[in-house]
Structure 1
Amino acid sequence: MQFSLRQYRSEAASHSHTDFHQIIISDLGLLELEIEGRGGAVSGTRLAFVPAGDTHAYRAQGLNRFLVLDVDTDLAKRAGIEALWHRNANASPYLQIANGQQAALSDLLRTVTSTRQAGAPISLTSRVGDCGTLIDDLSGEEGIVCNSLLRVLAGTSAASVGLTSKASNYDGLASVPPRLQRVLDWAELRLADPISVSDMAAVAVQSESSFFDAFQRYIGTTPMRWLTEQRLLAARHLLMASGKDIAIGDLAAQVGFTDQSAFSRAFSRRFGCSPLKMRMQGAVDLTAFN
């Protein structure tokens, strides 16, 4: 396996590769794709699995950076990567990270971006077993990256074909501009990290005042209120997925709260129930908290 961080041009290009599958994950921005006639995009929590031999055309929009993994077909079988793809996406080339499961994707991106320069490939030669079970005790970066990739694929499902916009999440609002959509996708993958309005404005390539005004116009709230909402929604999904196995302090840290008390208060205001009480209640109908 080789993987690297790449930037793509806005001009369309196409090619194919016969001896390896390619997995494309967005670290920043949007990449339009057409894989054997099936149109789609890589952005935010949507990724692409390009099977070996499939011709694919691509072009990027604006500022962008993507994690590209070239996975040898034999390794993909032995590692269970192909099995996870077929099971979760039914061989669709576009996969969607499930709600509340962004942490695995964030961990994978953080591992690579914190240690490698864009365009520098890394070789992974360690043996892995069937269905994602490691044969050898992998150590260091190789083990972390391999395990992170398997966790990412385990938390996916088939994504709808075609370009989509998250503007549909904000009823009655105009279509979200690409630079603002880029910020939403970027922030959702970094909920555990400290994020400021200045950080978001830099991703949008706008001044803070212009970004703030645009955010309120298209999203209908302030950037930090929106960010808090995403963190609380992610916390609820993590809590229900983990049940009694997760400590409230750990849960708070995973979604970017440094103060457990502040997290519990915000959670209770949003859902009418403390995180501790929800954890004690166990599985509930999540639609009741929407």
Structure 2
Amino acid sequence: MPSTIRQIPLDTATQHHDHDFHQIVIGLRGQAEFEIEGLGGSISALSGCIVPANHVHYYAGTGDNRQLILDLSAQAPSLTGFHHELARLFDAPRFFTLDDPLRRYLDFLLHELAVSPASGTATQGDRLAATLLGCLHARLADTTEPGHRRIDLRRLDRYIERHLPSKLSVGDLAREACLSETHFRHCFRQQTGMTPWQYVRRKRLEAAHRLLRDSRLPLSEVAALTGFSNQSALSHACREAFGQPPSKLRGSSRLATGHSRALA
């Protein structure tokens, strides 16, 4: 997919979607509001935002608005080969403002689009896009990386506890956190130091240990209540995490010494 450059107004009613290609939006007239995976901001003339692929984003134009939009697949010539470093622009969403040199280049780009309809697609579009991306990369590469949205772990914990007996997927957790699955995985690992699967497994083990310690429920029921497929799976997990089978954990007043080691 080559780079495509288009000029459109944004609907004034709030819309949202995600797509499998990167996008840069630059305001030409009026104003627009964007929220990209929880990062919100406004775009007016000569400012813009970076929307990485597969990031859910909400957007709405205000009144008479017009936006320049660049659509860029990960395999676009302007992001591969000699230009491969420019792909780093899409590591995370962010907002930016054009400085004077970039404003002059934008005028040139708009002139090219006006005099040559083919400029918005194919080879010429890739050339125009690569120059713009290179200029943006030079200006943004040295700025502080924008903070990733922090996941509300208390809310996520409550969700996990409510659904502990069920099969939980990363997609389920990502939807609860209002993030795309790809962005959720990245943010979760950065925030907790573990994968979502490791985190849910730890929650299952903690709940199983509490039930073993405080109740006389059959092991099969403990397994079912904490999301283990059967008693054998529970027993294997307890031996691995606590160094003891479930029967030895009955009535204990604290976690086995292997607890911290296994759940860290």
Q: TM-score range by the shorter chain?
A: 0.3 to 0.5
TM-score by length of 1: 0.41
TM-score by length of 2: 0.45
- Radius of gyration: which is bigger? 2
